[in-house]
Amino acid sequence: MSHFLSMRSILPIGLCLVLAMPAWEKLDAEPGVEAERVSRASALDDGFGAVVISIRSEIYLDEPLDVFFLREGGDVANDADVVRFERKQGLIAFGNDTLKYKVHAYQLRPGTYRLVGHGMECPKVPAEDERCLIDAPGLFGREEISRPSRGYGVIAPTFEVRAGAVTYAGDFALTSRNTIEWSEVPSEELRQTERRLARLARAPEPVIPDEFKLKYGLFPRSYEDDLNRRY
């Protein structure tokens, strides 16, 4: 009986410790500028072009995934030159629903945009081959951990945006190898968006280096960070 009572007294203490742990710190401002959605051709602002893109992940996303593109001639340190596309889990999803295509159209300033990084909760766009490190709460205080993230160099996928035209940029997927890999979006997934943007001229196809093309299909997988934590 005494053993049972001692366990009953320990459990509330453990629960209190968990509840007392500080929440994840949220960034005051995320790097880059979130891309602005556009619903149809007539909604496109003068001087802008449209880009149709899908973002996916085979890793379960406990926080939104950001994929960053730098406008040619810009500086990655200048948020105004970096556009950010986001993907997150559905509110009522059971398991990982980010394996599904999610095609959206956005409006961007004309120019050529290059993939420069991806990350979750990154305080900045990661440098080439860099991972984001964040402070996270633990049972015995705060600790520095890495999140699925990586920066890319000058050899990376690009797409061109032209004023009054639409660019079909394809699908950019986060893999369990902590890489962003590209593939074409199936025609049936594009049909509805194509109808809404049919009035727009078609811009050039994206330029994708071979090493960034999707090597395998996407499947629900886990990801192991530098401290052997799995996502």
Q: Is the pLDDT of residue 16 over 50?
A: no
Q: Is the pLDDT of residue 6 over 50?
A: no
When comparing pLDDT for 9 and 138, which is higher?
138
Q: DSSP state, 110? A: S
* Residues 79/123, Cβ–Cβ less than 8 Å: no
Strands (E), 65-102: 65-71, 82-87
How confident is the model over 206-215, as pLDDT tens digits? Answer: 999 999 999 9
The pLDDT > 70 percentage for the chain reads 80
* Paired residues of 107 in beta bridges: 36, 50
**Which residues, 6 or more positions from 29, have their beta carbon under 8 angstroms from its beta carbon?**
79
Q: Is the pLDDT of residue 9 over 60?
A: no
Residues in the chain: 231
Mean residue pLDDT across the chain:
85
CA–CA gap between residue 106 and residue 155 (Å, rounded):
24
CA–CA gap between residue 167 and residue 173 (Å, rounded):
18
How confident is the model over 55-111, as pLDDT tens digits? Answer: 999 988 888 999 999 999 999 999 999 999 999 886 665 667 889 999 999 999 999
For the chain, the structural domain boundaries read 23-212
CA–CA gap between residue 204 and residue 197 (Å, rounded):
15
CA–CA gap between residue 101 and residue 28 (Å, rounded):
30
